[in-house]
Structure 1
Amino acid sequence: MQNLDQCIADFASFVWGLPLLIILIGGGLFLIIYSKFLPFRYLGHAIQVLRGKYDNPDDPGEISHFQALTTALSTTIGMGNIAGVAVAIAIGGPGAMFWMWISAIVGMSTKFFTCTLAVMFRGKDSNGAIQGGPMYFITEGLGQHWKPLAAFFCLCGMIGVLPVFNVNQLTQAINDIVLIPNGVQVSFLTNLSVGLVLVAMTSLVILGGLNRISKVASKLVPSMVILYFVLVLIILITNIEVLPKYFKLIFTDAFAANNFNGDSFLGGMVGGLILLGVRRGAFSNEAGIGTAPMAHGAAKTAEPIREGLVAMLGPAIDTLIVCTLTALAILVTDVWQTSDANGVSLTASAFAKTMPVYGKYLLMICIAVFSISSLFSYSYYGMKCASFLFGAHNKHYFNYFYIVSIIVGATTSLSLMLNLIDGVFALMAVPTMLTTIALAPKVLKEAKRYFSTLKKA
């Protein structure tokens, strides 16, 4: 069992390492250059689409552009933004944030292409309902003989979206921030209680289908991002005298790696820092993994390019805004140098230092909402994968499996299961990126048609 545990851990570490970065970052850079920075030239138009200027209730699809974006963001804005950034700074120092930004900019281009394809090549499930996502743009875009690749994506997706890691980390955060400091003895029973509360909340939402998930996400995500922004703003204003120093250090340290404590890569510490920052960025915004296209593929639109432009805003909000807020809070409070804490505990230390009485509890609210909202959307992704593999009439069985996994995540810390889920989640990027690169010329052809009709209008 110990050997199996080590093998799975090595597998997860391998797939989240250089191979995945080559696929995600290398593929994303190719798409940026190939498109001549096309998505970035229409940022203003993307915001107009998001605001509903071009909404048409008669267009095919289930949810609005805004609901599609917030549903996708509800999975990416979570522990990666709060705990993941803290891990990156604890190991890599301020410079890690710069390479997370680079990852986000590349990811914006990737999201534009993958989510445009999700609408361009929508398919139908066994009930005849229109669906979108990598499994459909593989079979509809490349042909039915590529169905094994789509099935591989779905198989990895069903395992990869299980919330074991997310729930495990949320339970740990509740224990460390709320229960233990208030003298509560943490045990199997307290963890089980957390798990049961999460099951009750999740079941109420996910059993209502995509419309309920998207409505809840469209209310929770923006309000929590605003609350988090206000809280970090308080921290930054309190420490305004050191803010310019640390903001500058993000740029200088990115190429000096003076605070990097990890393993070198390609013969140098800067290489190791780049690998760390890009990996954390990719893990945070999930660009190229294939999750977001499943939400954006359900958008109510007849114009694929519009949805691609809206989706492109995801990594900007997730990494350029939310991750940067976390990084600056940790840097200006100096807890990254004075505390031995790591992950979510390091971020909590930053909040507690500036707001001693209530800071960590307000952070806990943000963590809880970010994590719980991601439980809703991940269940939808898993259900879509199950529907593709086993038929739409059987997809509801996945939800029961998903709900059981919440209890498992809250009450156990099985590293084998966590590493397995982590590893197969990363493998979803292989079919997603290979197909996206293969179909990129069709996206550009569609973009040329769309923008020429826009000019005429």
Structure 2
Amino acid sequence: MLHTIESINSVINDFIWGVPAMICIIGVGLYLSIRTRFLQIRKFGYAIQTTIGRMFRKKEASDGALTPFQAVCTALAATVGTGNIAGVAGAIAIGGPGAVFWMWISAILGMCTKFFEVTLAVHFRERNAEGDLVGGPMYYIKNGLGKNWRWLAYLFAGFGVLTVFGTGNATQVNTITTAIDSALLNYHVISTDTVPVMNWIIGIAITFLVGLILLGGVKRIGQVTERLVPFMAVLYIVLALGVVVFHFQNIPAVFASIFEGAFHPSAVTGGVIGSFFLSMKKGVSRGIFSNEAGLGTGSIAHACADTRKPVKQGLFGIFEVFADTIVICTLTALVILCSGVSVPYGEAAGAELTIAGFTATYGNWVSVFTAVAMCCFAFSTILGWGLYGARCIEFLFDAKVIKPFMVAYSLVAILGATVELGLLWSIAETFNGLMAIPNLIAVFLLSGTVVKMTKEYFAGEGKDS
């Protein structure tokens, strides 16, 4: 029975994260980019100036809402995760250095897709029975497309609930336990015999912390993520930049391998990886998996922002994909490729390859800092996806189910810390990809609304070019 489930899920997963689905996601991104005359490039400077400028303004959000900065931090909390460390390493190992180039292409188009998602989420949001601002794909489908499309909204929310326990929680906790165990074993603080006990302790501690934060509501989630996300991002960026600086002489050769490998992988990998399509597939799929552009999930957090200008909040979508993929994922790639560590081309690889890049530069002591960074990345993902799951289950049922959901979601951390998660991870990844289908349909059908709002916004700002 288990083997049958694995086989069925494998076929669905290969399709969802395969070429047809990627063509749909990239195709919609290209269509939206053309409709806005590549807004993400034309207005990139304005978007960065507007978003970063607003980040440092001290502002209290109204009841049931987040400040724009808290909203983007909550969205980044969910997107900047272990995929930025392990996912990029896997893409390079299977697709070669050229996968990084295709990851950039998916990010450039993804900036526009996420801009549309965030703008729609803020425009079509509503207040729930508790007075909180709620929005996201299920709401812009319901309020933007009308009653005949409500089934699509329920489909998205259903996939969302099925995804959060695996992708958002259990697999992230498993990453935390692995990182902590590795660091403690490395310094002989614990033995292999005591690892199971340590994992139970970690699982219980995470359950308590996650429950404490999530049950505090959207305000508390925003307060934690606005502190945790900048800390973890700066810590990782500083460590990664250090590796690049130490090996600066390798930078020209690395970028040459990325561009050459994008079109001629065998020339860079010594013939181990010869497929141009494999390089493209791995780069695009990992880029999408990391920044979630096309999945619609990040817009759920942005819908909570205390703002009256949907387009202005939409600019945070551009910033979010840029920060996640162009900055953090690229730095991970440079850590691996600049450090000179041996890349097992054609074989599966994960976080251990990225960590090898750090330790080859700094020594074994840096494993403590990489463990801290991985724990922060994973924990922040748990919080972000907790909010997504709460909004999805509330849409399906009622606001009364939110607290029981939060309790159940928190308890899953113990499961994630203590059991093998191979099949659970694969199933969750499938449902995660399935969320893209109803979202992309809605974004495509509602694209005219965003185009109109965008023109009006820039005409009013006097910034259009």
CA shift in 2, pair 1:86/1:446, >3 Å: same
Structure 2 match to 1:421: 428
Query: Are the aligned partners of 1:55 and 1:64 in contact in 2 as well (CA < 8 Å)?
Result: no
- TM-score, normalised relative to structure 2: 0.92
Q: Pick the aligned partner of 1:387 from 380, 394, 403.
A: 394
Cα separation, partners in 2 of 1:59 and 1:452, compared to 1, 3 Å: farther
Q: 1:247 aligned to 250, 255, 277, which one?
A: 255
Q: Which amino acid aligns with 2:327?
A: I
Q: Deviations over 1:20-51 (max 9, x none)?
A: 21221111111111211124322233234322
Identify the range of structure 1 (297-306 vs 334-343) with the bigger mean alpha-carbon deviation.
334-343
- 1:87 Cα offset (Å): 0.7
- Residues 66-105 of structure 1 correspond to what in structure 2 (within 5 A)? 66-105=69-108
Q: Which amino acid aligns with 2:114?
A: K
**Aligned mates of 2:375, 2:140 — CA distance in 1:** 34
- One-letter code aligned to 1:324: T
Q: Deviation string for 1:412-454 (max 9, x for gaps)? A: 1132222111111111111111100100001111111111111
Residues 127 and 200 of structure 1, relative CA distance in 2, 3 Å threshold: closer
1:167-316 to 2 correspondences below 5 Å = 167-179=173-185, 182=188, 184-185=191-192, 187-258=195-266, 259=268, 269-316=275-322
Q: Name which of 131, 137, 140 aligns with 2:140.
A: 137
* AA aligned opposite 2:246: T
TM-superposed CA distance for 1:312, in Å, is 1.2
**Deviations 1:151-206 (CA, angstroms, capped at 9, x unpaired):** 11111101212212222233223333433663621543222222112112212211
| Superposition pairs of residues 42-57 of structure 1, within 5 angstroms | 42-50=43-51, 51-52=53-54
Distance 2:75 2:259 in 1: 29
AA in 1 matched with 2:210: T
Do the aligned partners of 2:122 and 2:302 also contact (CA within 8 Å) in 1? Answer: yes
For 1:112, which of 115, 127, 130 is the aligned residue?
115
| Partner-residue secondary structure (3-state), 1:337 | coil
| Aligned counterpart for 1:148 among listed residues 148, 151, 155 | 151
Alpha-carbon spacing, 1:203–1:159, altered in 2? closer, same or farther (3 Å)? same
Q: SS where residue 301 of structure 1 aligns? A: coil
Inter-CA distance 247–194: structure 2 relative to 1 (3 Å threshold) = same
Instruction: Kindly indicate whether the alpha-carbon contact (under 8 Å) linking 1:260 and 1:273 is maintained by their aligned counterparts in 2.
Output: no
Secondary structure of the corresponding residue to residue 335 of structure 1: coil
Between Structure 1 and Structure 2, how many residues are aligned?
Answer: 454
Quickly say closer, same or farther: Cα 1:60–1:117, change in 2 above 3 A.
farther
Runs of 5+ consecutive residues of structure 2 not aligned to the other structure: none
* Structure 1 runs not aligned, ≥5 long: none
Deviation sequence 1:65-115 (CA, Å, 0-9, x none): 211111111111111100111111111221111111111111100000010
Q: Give the ranges of 4+ consecutive aligned residues of structure 1 lying more than 6 Å apart after TM superposition.
A: 53-61, 261-264, 338-341
With normalisation by structure 1, the TM-score equals 0.93
The CA distance in 2 between the partners of 1:56 and 1:408, in whole Å, is 39
Cα distance change on mapping 1:148 and 1:43 into 2, 3 Å: same
Q: In the aligned structure 1, how far is the partner of 2:317 from the partner of 2:270?
A: 35
Q: Secondary structure of 1:288's partner? A: coil
- Matches of 2:60 and 2:217, distance apart in 1: 19
Q: Out of 291-300 and 338-347, give the one that drifted further.
A: 338-347
**Of 353, 357, 361, the match for 1:346:** 353
In 2: Cα distance, 1:369 partner to 1:261 partner: 36
- Contact 1:60 1:300 (8 Å CA) reproduced: no
Residue identity opposite 1:351 in structure 2: F
* Deviation string, structure 1 residues 340-393 (Cα, Å, up to 9, x no partner): 882011111111111114211111111111111111111011001111111112
Distance 1:173 1:382, change over 3 A: same
The one-letter code sitting in structure 2 at the alignment partner of 1:409 is: G
Please report the RMSD computed on the Cα atoms of aligned residues, expressed in angstroms: 2.4
Shift of 1:61: 6.8
